[in-house]
Structure 1
Amino acid sequence: MNTEEKIFEAAKVIFHKKGFAGARMQEIADEAGINKAMLHYCFKSKQVLFEAVFKKAFSQLAPQINTIFTSEKSLFEKITEFTQSYISFVIENPFLPAFIIQEMNNNPEFVMSFMKTENRPNPTVLITQIESEIEAGTIKAIKPKQLLLNIFSLTVFPFAAHMLVKSMLHLSPEEFLQMMEERKTTIAQQIINSIKK
């Protein structure tokens, strides 16, 4: 593992434990096993480091999502694969949803820049498939974008508001993770049952 990879892995650990605001560059350097001067040489600020970590994570997630969206599989299979893939990814990168929300408020240009790249998630093929399924009578007449929003909301919200969810449901960190693992299948099944004729 090279120095940059060590920094990325250390940053993920510290950002997960402390959040963006609470994380300190010294802690990240210590976790990576390097001195703070080396960390600042590679990344001049915590914001720059966080954005680099985000870019790397996004570059891993977006192709997975597009592969699901554009595959030849059935709509129900795609819904199942998306919830499993996205939740697995966020379990590995739990700081990202809160960071995206924070950056959408404080630095929207940075987040929106990712939605202009060629590798951004593109649901066009999936939307067309939903429309075809409605015409064929296999699913209820629902606006495709509303269906996608429902799927995104059900998968994203628990992670974006994980402290609220854990507090309201009295969940330990281990119980929260177990619940998220369960949601890989329960969300897909709920969505499929709600649209299937």
Structure 2
Amino acid sequence: MTKKKNENTEGQILEAAKNVFQQKGMDGSRMQEIANEAGINKAMLHYYFRSKQLLFEAVFKNAFSLLAPQLNKILNDDSSVIEKVRNFTSNYITFISKHPYIPTFVIQEINRNPAFIINMKENNSSFPNLDKFKKQVDFDIEKGILKPINAEQLFINILSLSIFPFVAKPLIKALTDVDDARFKQIIKDRKTEVADFIINSIKV
């Protein structure tokens, strides 16, 4: 009974933290705000998570554990490279739209602690694996289906075009002079825009 209660409280904290981090980001969030959102006192919050950093990492790992298997499945199923580009882009942008704090956190954490992602990879069996994707790209190039392109560069292009709007949201809104509603529509459209752009650039 106590174990179940502890799991429920921890899940409640993680959900509250996710909501606060989404609204205010890592730097703008306060542990007291998270405690209030979770409906607990600050002492209990610190009992489960000693610091905001540890809590943020827990939220990130929890979200990543949901995303990683999806991406890994797409990269390693029997679909074509073109289908993989479409499915990966759509799934990734959909997921990050629900967890917009993740790209900024990854960049922040890599700068602060370069070993963080490496440790996650070593301790996560579902961490995305590019081996099959790279072999498919090389095979399609040999068959004349795709233009010559390095598979790693192709994957970086897919990832970069999908991530950048989330990281640079204030800059993009200012440069394009759009409000939040229009920005959300732009992000929604990018699920197909990014895929179309990349596919048109690599197809023979």
TM-score after normalising by structure 2: 0.92
In the other structure, the counterpart of 2:110 is 104
- Matched-pair identity in %: 50
Correspondence 1:15 to 2:21:
yes
Structure 2 stretches lacking a partner, 5+ long: 1-6
In the other structure, the counterpart of 1:140 is 147
Indicate the SS of the match to 1:2: helix
- Provide the aligned length of Structure 1 versus Structure 2: 197
Find the partner of 1:119 among 123, 126, 149. 126
Q: Is the 8 A contact 1:98 1:161 kept in 2?
A: no
In the other structure, the counterpart of 1:63 is 69
What letter corresponds to residue 59 of structure 1 in structure 2?
S
Q: Structure 1 CA distance, aligned partners of 2:36 and 2:46?
A: 13
Q: Structure 2 CA distance, aligned partners of 1:150 and 1:3?
A: 40
Moved over 6 A (4+): none
What letter corresponds to residue 192 of structure 1 in structure 2?
I
Correspondence 1:95 to 2:95:
no
TM-score after normalising by structure 1: 0.95
- Please report how far the alpha carbon of residue 15 of structure 1 lies from its aligned counterpart in structure 2 after TM superposition: 0.7
Indicate the SS of the match to 1:115: helix
In the other structure, the counterpart of 2:136 is 129
Find the partner of 2:169 among 152, 162, 173. 162
Structure 1 stretches lacking a partner, 5+ long: none
Matches within 5 A, 1:3-82: 3-82=9-88
Indicate the SS of the match to 2:122: coil
Q: How big is each residue's C-alpha offset from its partner over 1:125-175, in whole Å with a ceiling of 9 and x where there is no partner?
A: 001000111011111111111111111110011112222222222222222
